Amino acid sequence: MEVTLAVAADYANITNDGKLNIMGIFEEVNPTGFPTLLQQMFLVISFEAGPAEFGAQKVVHIAFMDDDGNRKVTLDVPVVVPRPVRPGSRAYFSQVIGLGGLPIEAPGDHQFAILVGGETKGSVSLHVNEPIDETQESEEA
């Protein structure tokens, strides 16, 4: 099972006929101070798997880490590899994971590491900017 797409977004869903909708893909956030919580975001991960994995139950382990490699949040998402609609093709499927209240303690480069079977299959980078001092910004204007 391989990751073919991994992004952070403001919103995402999967339609009844399997279409993936993603709105507001982002790579950085601008908190007003620290510590803070990201109120809402969606982690979107698309996978591809071959015939030997059809029907297999897997656990996708997601670790949100700061720039020192400290794990801040971990999630285990169980998935079952679906059989493809077209016989003889690979399976393509996606997971949309809603995250609310994600803790951010400091600026810097963060990431969501995506592991399957203990092996890193992908990652999503998230840069957390320093808060903007609005008093200094208004004085410069």
Euclidean distance between CA atoms 73 and 56, whole angstroms: 26
Average pLDDT of 54-77? 96
Q: Is pLDDT of 128 > 60?
A: yes
Q: Could you read off the pLDDT of 16-41 as tens digits, one per residue?
A: 998 999 999 999 999 999 999 999 99
**Domain containing residue 119: CATH number:** 2.60.40.10
Q: Is pLDDT of 135 > 70?
A: no
Omega prior to 35 cis, within 30 of 0 = yes
Q: Is pLDDT of 97 > 70?
A: yes
Euclidean distance between CA atoms 50 and 88, whole angstroms: 9
- How many domains, in total, are found in the chain? 1
Cβ–Cβ < 8 Å for 46, 70: no
Average pLDDT of 110-120? 97
Q: For residue 19, what are the domain limits?
A: 2-140
